[in-house]
Structure 1
Amino acid sequence: MASGRSTRASTAVDRLKERTGNQGYSMARTGDGLFQLSEKPGEPPLCEPLELDEFVAFVKKLGPQEVRRVSKYDVAFEKQLVKKPTT
Structure 2
Amino acid sequence: MASSRSTRASAAVERLKKRTGNTGYSMARTGDGLFFLSEAPGAPALNAPLELDDFVAFVNGLGPQEVKRISKNDVEFEKQLVRKKPGS
Tell me if both proteins adopt one fold, taking TM over 0.5 as the criterion: yes
How far 1:77 moved relative to its partner?
Answer: 1.8
User: Tell me, what secondary structure is at the counterpart of 1:23?
Assistant: coil
Aligned residue-pair number: 86
Give the residue type in structure 2 aligned to 1:58: F
* Distance (whole Å) between structure 1 residues aligned to residue 4 and residue 28 of structure 2: 15
> Could you report, residue by residue, the CA deviation over 1:29-85 in whole angstroms, capped at 9, with x for unpaired residues?
011101000001111110001111110010011011111110011111222332487
- Could you say what the CA RMSD is over the residues aligned between the two structures, in angstroms? 1.4
Runs (4+) off by over 3 Å = 83-86
Farther-moved stretch of structure 1 (70-79 vs 4-13): 70-79
Q: Where does the alignment leave 5 or more consecutive residues of structure 2 unmatched?
A: none
Q: What percent identity do the matched residue pairs reach?
A: 76
Could you tell me the TM-score, scaled by structure 1's length? 0.91
Partner of 2:16: 16
Could you tell me the TM-score, scaled by structure 2's length? 0.90
